[in-house]
Amino acid sequence: MAVASLIVAIIIIVLLLSIAVRLRLRPVSKSSTAKPEAYYDLSETDKYPHKWGYADTQFEFDDPRSVKVTGNRYPISGFRMPHLVPFVEEMLGFSIHPEDMVEGNQTHNIPTPHIEDNFFQAVETQFKPEQFSINEKDRLIHSHGQLSVGEIYRILYGASLERVVDLVFFPESEEDVKAIIKLANKHNVCLIPYGGGTNVSGALAIPTEEERMVVSVDMQRMNRILWIDKENFQACIEAGIRGKQLEKLLSEEGYTSGHDPDSIEFSTLGGWIATNASGMKKNKYGNIEDIVIEATLVTPTGNIETKCITPRSSTGIRPQVFLFGSEGNLGIITKAIIKIHLEPEVRKFGSLVFPNFEYGVRFLKDLRQNGTLPASIRLVNNNEFRFGQALKPNPTFWKRITGDFLKFFLFRLKGFQPLEMVACTALTEGTTEEVNQQEKNLIRIAKKHQGISGGASNGKRGYSLAFGIAYIRDFFGQFNILGETFETSVPWNKVLQVCQSVKQELEEQAKNYHIPGDPYLSYRVTQTYHTGVCIYFTMAFYTKGLEDPDKIYHQIEHRLRQVILDNGGSLSHHHGIGKIRQDFLPQVHTGNSFQVLHQSKKAMDPNNVFGIRNGVFYEPSETS
């Protein structure tokens, strides 16, 4: 008996030590002199023409009850996920089988391009043949963003888009941009700036009433770093550079921009400015308006830019304000001068678990007011926490034993409830000293709110999952499940109220529209501020048997946005307005504000060359 007891005691000690190691925040880099590893794959390959992401990556069944992700690009790639399909079935109340996969459109009804002959002849004369295209594939790709329940749904499963661009133009310099704008202004042609095509606001949808020739101006060949000023921590960069390209090039020089949106692999610097974007590491580096020192907007009447670059200036009303959130309505952003930072010596991931969402929100508020903030910290609700758990493979023997002990510790000893507990993922980066101090603050403040460390590996995995969400969305779209995200910002005292109100309204709308099964709603706090937070919602439901399911989805989502506004939330935090939020704007801006913005556009673009009509500019133009 004594020997057996000793063996059991040794096993318990080993397991407890294993758990203790797992529960620590630990550095990803092995030393302060080594560069922290990237948390997304830096390699390039072909992209899907319409769906999200790289063509080497997709979810697929590897048996009737299990899925896997092809390739090795993301942390969720390369292993079987036996828990994902059962989790989705549980959430939605419907079974999912490989044979139920909906066959997508094999062809697309793309209209013949409407060509303005004089304009086209001038383009042929002034530019190289590889700088413009009227190819049907190119035109369709440049006629939509990534609004899955809308543009992507119609392309993959529904009717064709009502309007597509007539020509795609690829400028290679700012002089090319000025030249194409001059030609469009002269020949009454509509131009639409195009970055990475990642927006989810319908911003790239061509107005159906637009009768002019429409040209998409794809900026992605303008992707160079023009100069780096290492002494003053600045860099001048062309607007067509994608986030991943930018970080790779800056890293070669020992720097980072710090801007890290979920779409960093595909979105562009110009797109970030045009949508007034935010990134996951906002706490350390700021939102895009904090990162950009100056930028150049080329309009039909000339450039909007500042001649002298200083850390800050008080020179009256700055025309630069028109760039942020411009959404392609005013001109083309060609370059920007941004702040750059030395790459961090060390990067640490961590995770925390809390008994419920309210405890997690209290922790974030306390941390914001009394702690040293990590570069990123994100709180997910129970549904999203369990969704992340469902993306894991079956555990190995030792991981299963360790996991059982962790569950015993959380559920039996600490009193956590499986259907209430939530999780935070944290990313700290900087010098070893400041990262260690941030780690101590996190643990110290978390303990005040019954938080328990969940380990570095869970933190890194949770942080990296953001890059795989859209692939999951597109996979389940093949099985009559529509899902999309929407976001808002709210004051601290309205966080729980907004989340609960959206949940209740979704349940009511699901009944009104006779949604089969149960709707799915998850939410997470992705950014915190002194006065409040950004909340990021994900909504999905099963649509088989519904007539016009994409329209029903948007009608429900439209109602949820109104509920958010009614309960003190903003219309958008970082996605922008585009076209799907336009009719809410009278609740946001005064009539005189509309007039000021319209008059400003007339000053920059009197002939409405940039006629995409996003945001406040949705009124039919006189040239149509």
pLDDT of 32 strictly over 70: no
Q: Provide the CATH topology of domain 120-343+582-624.
A: 3.30.465
Instruction: Work out the average pLDDT over 385-404.
Output: 84
Of 332, 300, 48, which Cα lies nearest the Cα of 218? 332
Q: Give dist(CA 277, CA 275) in Å, integer.
A: 5
High-pLDDT (> 70) share of the chain, %: 93
Cα torsion angle, 490, 495, 499, 505, sign: negative
Range scoring the smallest mean pLDDT among 53-62, 135-144, 404-413, 463-472: 404-413
The string of DSSP letters for 509-564 reads HHHHTT-SS--EEEEEEEEE-SSEEEEEEEEEEE-TT-SSHHHHHHHHHHHHHHHH
Instruction: Work out the average pLDDT over 538-567.
Output: 96
Band (pLDDT 50/70/90 cuts) for residue 6 is: very low
pLDDT of 251 strictly over 80: yes
pLDDT of 403 strictly over 80: no
In this chain, the answer to whether the domains covering 2-29+344-467 and 120-343+582-624 adopt an identical fold is no
Band (pLDDT 50/70/90 cuts) for residue 619 is: low
Q: Give dist(CA 202, CA 242) in Å, integer.
A: 20
Q: At what angle do helices 549-566 and 495-512 cross, to 10 degrees?
A: 150
Q: Provide the residue type at 192 as one letter.
A: I
Instruction: Work out the average pLDDT over 51-57.
Output: 95
At 541, give phi and psi (nearest 5°): -160, 160
Q: Say if CB 325 and CB 276 are below 8 A apart.
A: yes
Q: Give dist(CA 88, CA 421) in Å, integer.
A: 19
Record the tokens describing residue 363, joined without a space: 């922790």
pLDDT of 401 strictly over 90: no
| The domain over range 2-29+344-467 is classified in CATH as 3.90.870.10 | no
pLDDT of 322 strictly over 50: yes
pLDDT of 621 strictly over 80: no
The neighbouring-strand residues paired with 429 are 347
Instruction: Work out the average pLDDT over 101-126.
Output: 94
pLDDT at 27: 43
Q: Say if CB 167 and CB 143 are below 8 A apart.
A: no
Mean pLDDT of the chain: 91
pTM as predicted: 0.92
> Which listed residue (54, 74, 359, 536) is catalytic?
536
High-pLDDT (> 90) share of the chain, %: 79
Band (pLDDT 50/70/90 cuts) for residue 34 is: low
Annotated domain spans of the chain? 2-29+344-467, 120-343+582-624, 481-575
Beta strands in 78-187 (DSSP E): 80-81, 132-133, 167-169
pLDDT per residue as tens digits for the range 335-368: 999 999 999 999 999 999 999 999 999 999 999 9
CATH number belonging to the domain at 481-575, selected among 3.40.190.10, 2.60.40.1730, 3.30.300.330, 3.40.30.10: 3.30.300.330
pLDDT of 23 strictly over 90: no
pLDDT at 35: 61
Q: Give dist(CA 347, CA 310) in Å, integer.
A: 30
Told to judge if 536 belongs to the known catalytic residues of this protein, a careful annotator would answer yes
Instruction: Work out the average pLDDT over 585-590.
Output: 96
Q: Give dist(CA 560, CA 562) in Å, integer.
A: 5
Band (pLDDT 50/70/90 cuts) for residue 37 is: low
pLDDT at 444: 95
Question: Which range, 16-25, 65-74, 136-145, is most confident?
Answer: 136-145
Q: Say if CB 100 and CB 93 are below 8 A apart.
A: no
Place of tokens 């009614």: 566
